[in-house]
Structure 1
Amino acid sequence: MQKRYPYYLANKAASPNADLAVLDKYSGKVAAQVAVPDAKAVDKAIAAAEKAAKPMAAMKPYERQQVLLHCVKRFEERADELAKALCIEAGKPINDAKGEVTRLIDTFKVAAEEAVRIDGQIINLEISARAAGYRGFSKRVPLGPVSFITPFNFPLNLVAHKVAPAIAAGCPFVLKPAEKTPIGALIIGEILAETKLPKGAFSVLPVNGDKASQLVEDERLKLLSFTGGQIGWKLKSQAGRKKVVLELGGNAACVVDADQKDRLDAVVDRLIFGAFYQSGQSCIGVQRIYVHDTLYAALKKKLVEKTRALKSGDPKNKDTFIGPMIDEDAAKRLHGWISEAKEAGAKVLCGGKRKGNMLEATLVEDVPADAKLNREEAFGPVALLAPFSDFHAVLDTVNDSEYGLQAGVFTNDLGHTMAAWDRLEQGGVIINDIPSFRVDNMPYGGVKRSGLGREGIRRAIEDMTEERLLVIHDVDD
């Protein structure tokens, strides 16, 4: 019998229907039925969040920490269930799914630590004679009710990066998870419902995308945090006066410098992981690989051999590395881009075949600069390979993109390291590893079409709070 999941409205489960069918992404069969809220439910959730703003702000830091630590405990207890849900609803290979559960736990742990150290500042105002006898102090206070919209590819951890800092900051929230992968978020909602959060502190609403406009436009909400595609820029224009944080994908490049000859096997292993983990459906998955021409032939040979050896199939099997893409339309789109590149002169080194929503791990070289496969975000198991001869010139090649989330550079040269950090137009530069590297307490976000603002627990808390100033005039008796 298929499992049924409620949505969560003002901390409580609601099951008025079971209208959303969630598919097992590998078999294509219905795996679960989920209740879908209507526009009235969304309005009730926002109204409840507005009422919860004062009691949430009044919670002591240790009380918010206790909520987060309860979640950590329950995530640990339900880790296998969460990983299985990810494997089914997202088609994520089970080893990747277990890794995401670990990151979910880490993210809530970090938020629990940060919840008790949201500090202010003592400000010396006596910078001139007119300010003599004045003292300044600042503290951070919760912004108020906020809204979150999350994508399908990390149904647990991308939810965690919004929900956990909101609780730490004291902000009630309304969350819309992706319709294709709502189960992980609903399990998080179930666990939050066990806590002593004030009524209305949270709602988890897998509302249809075309009916989510209120989460963007409603002026009662003080912040919109959106992770997803380029539609984010349109949402920003509709958001009114509220603060907006956007993470909108990338076209991540990785540079392998000439001094990596003795580390080639290790570099190839990391490139394989970066390009193909969770079937390439990551904003910082390795898409463009630039290799110094003295290493190009050797690295290409090793990379092709290891790519061909990757096992595709049922993501529930422990030895599966390449699972399904989220749906057949996504696989058709990317397969079409590969075909277009081939027609324009590109060479497929391995892979390139599609069956349903399964696309082989694919390596391509000689891709024209104007091809979609080079210009846009692939978001699938495809990587481009190209040689370079001049390190400083290849930095310009990396920058020749409308995206700028993260880049990786394998080099032992300190000068090259600093040049990459200074010149690459990216939110983050990762040295001696792939751009896919992320630790959940680091600042994370992009420039250009990749987004606006930064996530990472402390930065998210800063976005969900505002500074309040106190000035005291010391009056002489």
Structure 2
Amino acid sequence: MKMYLAGEWVDREQKIEVRHPFDGLLVDTVPQATRDDVERALAAAVEGARVMAKVTAYDRFLMLRRAADVVLSQKSELGRLISLEEGKTLAEGEFEVTRAATTLEVSAEEAKRLTGEMLPLDAAPGAAGKMGFTLRVPCGVVVAIAPFNFPLNLVCHKVGPALAAGNAVVLKPASNTPLSALKLIEILLAAGVPPLAVQCLTGAGGEIGTALCQDERVRKITFTGSVEVGKKICAVAGLKRVTMELGSNSPLIVLDDADLNKATDSILASGFGNAGQVCISAQRIIALPKVYDELLDRLQPKVEGLTAGDPMHASTRMGPMIRESDAVRVEQWVHEAVAQGARLLTGGSRRGTLHEPTLLADVQPNMRISRDELFGPAVGVTRAASVDDAIRLANDSRYGLSAGLFTQDLDAAMKFARHVECGNVHVNWGPAWRADLMPYGGLKESGLGKEGPKYAIQEMTETKTVVLHLPPD
């Protein structure tokens, strides 16, 4: 495929290969963008921002509404493309397409709700006869840097709100998974988005991503990815608005009165969806002594029953990891934990990019598989002495994105909600749950700002205050 730049689909002699994570077969190629392409994209985006600032809210709504309809109508094709480039199962790929359509739909609706507020200026001393109100205006040029793990929906979470707010957007999709993002650009253009309002550059983030983020013409950066890359972006960004959706090692607490059938189903869904490559994947299971052994007894056969293999087969429940190096890392962390005293109940091995669904017991908080972000198909179960100890263990992390708790005790649930240091908390489900319209973002090193179209639009617009100095009555 070609990349979209300054109103044209362009190619370059140097290519990036997009390969199917399961078998390494070539899916397609995309151009390797250069620094000159960055300059051209930004110059076009500046002009595109001027064009978008004149587009009415209703017309922005129509563009995104039409795009949402087309995305949904192409669910099978787009879902298959996601599975080919990312390694999701076919069911997961199609589900992501459905979510992406919803994200665009909600963004379209929010385009009609951009309002300011009246200011009671006569409530200030000496302000008789003054009338004030605020306007919400677009930032201008938004740079959107997307990850590989949700290559369509997380792109929609950035591009949809940016366009709904009246901005131009320069998109840099992940090098492993650029194809569904490029298809989205085709759909947006066909839906009526002005040609200069969107750019899509394919290439290495270390080169073109840095060049985009440090440019003064950019007024807003929205990034999803690792903590380390997020810190580098913030270091070069300068005086810009930034949204950082970063990593986590999400905890899930199981109390003595938990519904263990529901808890184990949740751990299966939260811990192994997309081969664990989800920033809110359940990684640290923290259980109280009374239910600890029974939880493991119920959970082990369910993990063993996960069918891992070729994601293009309808019967496959879990696909490969995106790169073999990531599967190697997960395997190493699992073996390291076992060497330090954890019990391997099932899994622990890999074949190429395919790592077995893995369950570990007796994991200690100081083990790397507990302290750092695994981003792979393994969960570790840790014993806690009490509710307070479980909350302490959950908070013993530099991350704070999402957490889950299973209990029937309302007081315990509210204590969890108040005291667990995460941006999203879930009672009686796991941490890997998200409605695309809700505010979504983390605390501590899990990031800055919020996603969800309504909340992203707030961060992609500026507030302008207008004061009318009226004559006295």
Interval containing the TM-score (normalised by the shorter chain):
over 0.9
Q: Deviations over 1:398-436 (max 9, x none)?
A: 000011001011122221122112111111111111100
CA distance in 2, matches of 1:130, 1:239: 41
Deviates more, 1:26-35 or 1:395-404: 26-35
Q: Deviations over 1:383-406 (max 9, x none)?
A: 011222311221011000011001
How does 1:53-452 map onto structure 2 within 5 Å? 53-212=49-208, 213-230=210-227, 231-260=229-258, 263-452=259-448
Q: Deviations over 1:321-344 (max 9, x none)?
A: 121100110001111111111111
CA distance in 2, matches of 1:215, 1:222: 11
CA distance in 2, matches of 1:125, 1:318: 63
* 1:466 counterpart = 2:459: no
Tell me the SS of whatever aligns to 2:286. strand
Shift of 1:70: 1.5
Give the aligned residue type for 2:362: D
5+ long unaligned stretches in structure 1: none
CA distance in 2, matches of 1:47, 1:422: 47
5+ long unaligned stretches in structure 2: none
Shift of 1:18: 6.5
Give the aligned residue type for 1:390: S
CA distance in 2, matches of 1:11, 1:114: 26
Tell me the SS of whatever aligns to 2:279. coil
Identical counterparts, % of pairs: 39
Tell me the SS of whatever aligns to 1:258. coil
Give the aligned residue type for 1:220: R
Q: Deviations over 1:28-56 (max 9, x none)?
A: 11111222322211111101111122220
Q: Deviations over 1:4-44 (max 9, x none)?
A: x1101134311234711110111111111222322211111
CA distance in 1, matches of 2:183, 2:195: 18
CA distance in 2, matches of 1:128, 1:104: 46
CA distance in 1, matches of 2:147, 2:124: 51
TM-score, normalised by the number of residues in structure 2: 0.97
CA distance in 1, matches of 2:472, 2:274: 67
Shift of 1:199: 3.5
Q: Deviations over 1:416-468 (max 9, x none)?
A: 12211211111111111110010001111111111111111111101100111
Give the aligned residue type for 2:441: G
Shift of 1:271: 1.0
CA distance in 2, matches of 1:368, 1:286: 16
Tell me the SS of whatever aligns to 1:305. helix
Is the CA contact (8 Å cut-off) linking 2:189 and 2:195 kept in structure 1?
no
1:12 to 8, 27, 35: 8
CA distance in 2, matches of 1:295, 1:94: 35
Is the CA contact (8 Å cut-off) linking 1:145 and 1:171 kept in structure 2?
yes
Tell me the SS of whatever aligns to 2:382. strand
Tell me the SS of whatever aligns to 2:242. strand
CA distance in 1, matches of 2:124, 2:18: 65
Is the CA contact (8 Å cut-off) linking 1:7 and 1:36 kept in structure 2?
no
Is the CA contact (8 Å cut-off) linking 1:150 and 1:178 kept in structure 2?
yes
Is the CA contact (8 Å cut-off) linking 1:247 and 1:450 kept in structure 2?
yes
Give the count of matched residue pairs: 471
Q: CA RMSD in A?
A: 1.2
CA distance in 2, matches of 1:199, 1:182: 19
Tell me the SS of whatever aligns to 1:294. helix
CA distance in 2, matches of 1:466, 1:249: 28
CA distance in 2, matches of 1:160, 1:52: 19
